[in-house]
């Protein structure tokens, strides 16, 4: 399908499942090349669930672990995705080699909060892998270690990413059509 409609907005095909597979594979190869020992992968839900499940199967680093977190944010009228706290972290992360798995880095607000909270807990090392990255929207200085694909500052859905909670199940990634 070249075009889809979600909540009355039209999206056009942007990154096919075949391209996504290549991107995910390249990230896994780059992560494997680091030879990090006993890494703890932390996937940021909900958006990264498909990316995390596919990248982790290609990881060959010994004693790899995976866990999942969610960010709870203020739900006010001025909600700009301001992040409050991390929920669901069951592991003790002190002294661990962490690799964050994100679906997309946009402004970097989410990432900054995660990095801050993780560093407070005394991790040994912290690396960040993201499937998609919007360089034009990024406002932070934190380096991103593994970038799947740089994309323009356009809204995208599919492969875990949602538009108001729908579209996460789509195998391809679509971008908002602008006329």
Site for Mg ion in 94-123 (CB under 5 A): 103
Count the alpha carbons within 13 Å of 104 in the hemisphere toward its beta carbon: 20
Q: How far apart are CA 22 and CA 173, in angstroms?
A: 14
Bridge partner list, 40: 65, 98
17 is annotated as an active-site residue: no
| Residue 101 binding ligand IMP, by CB under 6 A | no
β-bridge mates for residue 11, sequence order: 4, 176
Active-site pick, 26, 103, 106, 153: 106
- Per DSSP, the residues of 113-142 read HHHHHHHHTT-SEEEEEEEEE-TTT-----
Phi, psi of 35 (to 5 degrees): 55, 30
Cβ-based nearer residue to Mg ion, 34 or 56: 56
Cβ of residue 135: shortest distance to ligand IMP, in angstroms? 12
Closest-CA residue to 62 (of 40, 95, 38, 41):
38
| Stretch near ligand IMP under the rule CB under 6 A, chosen from 14-22, 55-63, 100-108, 115-123 | 100-108
Residue 81 interface partner, choices Mg ion, ligand IMP, none, CB cut-off 5-8 Å depending on type: ligand IMP
Question: Judged by CB, which is closer to ligand IMP: 63, or 75?
Answer: 75
Report the residue number, 36 or 159, with the smaller CB distance to ligand IMP.
159
Q: Which of positions 44-73 make contact with Mg ion (CB under 5 A)?
A: 47
Instruction: Let me know how many helices (H) and strands (E) the chain has, helices first.
Output: 3, 10
Catalytically active residues are: 106
Question: Which positions lie near ligand IMP, rule CB under 6 A?
Answer: 47, 81, 103-111, 155-157, 161
């Amino acid at each position: 399908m070249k075009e889809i409609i979600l909540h009355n907005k039209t999206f056009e095909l942007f990154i096919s499942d075949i391209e996504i597979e290549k991107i995910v594979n390249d990230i896994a190869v780059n992560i494997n090349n680091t030879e990090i020992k006993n890494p703890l992968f932390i996937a940021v839900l909900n958006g990264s669930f498909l990316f995390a499940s596919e990248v982790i199967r290609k990881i060959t680093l010994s004693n790899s672990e995976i866990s999942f977190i969610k960010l709870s944010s203020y739900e006010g009228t001025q909600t700009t995705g301001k992040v409050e706290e991390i929920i669901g972290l069951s592991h003790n992360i002190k002294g661990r080699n962490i690799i964050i798995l994100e679906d997309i880095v946009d402004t970097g607000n989410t990432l900054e909060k995660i990095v801050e909270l993780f560093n407070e807990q005394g991790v040994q090392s912290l690396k960040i892998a993201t499937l998609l990255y919007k360089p034009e929207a990024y406002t932070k200085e934190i380096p991103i270690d593994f970038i799947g694909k740089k994309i323009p500052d356009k809204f995208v859905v599919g492969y875990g990413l949602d538009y108001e909670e729908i579209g996460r199940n789509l195998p391809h990634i679509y971008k908002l059509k602008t006329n």
